[in-house]
Amino acid sequence: MSLSWNATHRNVIASGSADTRVKLWDVNTCQCIETLEHHTDKVQSVRWNPQETNVLLTGSFDKTFALLDVRSPAAVAKGNVAVDVECLAWNPHSPQNFLVATEDGMVKYYDALKISQGPIFRLGAHGSGVAALTFSPDLPNVFATGSDEKTVKVWEIGADNKPSNVLSIDHQEKVFCLSFLPSEPHLLATGGKKGKLK
């Protein structure tokens, strides 16, 4: 259901599966090198931290997200949300912070060192599930969300750690994926239900 390449260990990829497991794979040998079983339902999203590349963030339909260092996989820090986790994103400009998006249209922003204190902010980003979420690699604290309600929105996190909506686009179909182009920070590609790329 989800894949994430490790930026430092280029032969390692993490996978999240409908069988509730997270697996780490060595692509050179095509072998599973670790199986993690800290979720109880489908694992919808897995993301390596962009700076601390042994740290993995996972999100599940069991209404939890989890943070762990794969060198000590038994020590899992978990957070709870009200509904299924749809997608996750690390902030590349502040790599101890991450977003959790859920099927009710909510996006929550966390500090990895303070999960137990709850989110830094809660954002009602959309009226239905947030199916796509990405940070801009070039524009600090800018992220985009895409939804089942056929909209794409671009947000900026201000100095007060509060998000503001800077752009809303009617996509005309359900949005499933988003990606900023690294060399052109104002260019965002979107993919939707009808197989169209915009």
pLDDT tens-digit series, residues 117-166: 999 999 999 999 999 999 999 999 999 999 989 999 999 999 999 999 99
Is this prediction's pTM over 0.85?
A: yes
Cβ burial, residue 120 (10 Å; 0-12/13-18/19+): middle
Residue 11's alpha-carbon distances to 32, 89, 177, in angstroms, are 12, 21, 24
CA distance 113 to 95: 11
Closest alpha carbon to 80 in 61, 94, 96, 98: 61
What average pLDDT does this structure show over 18-22? 97
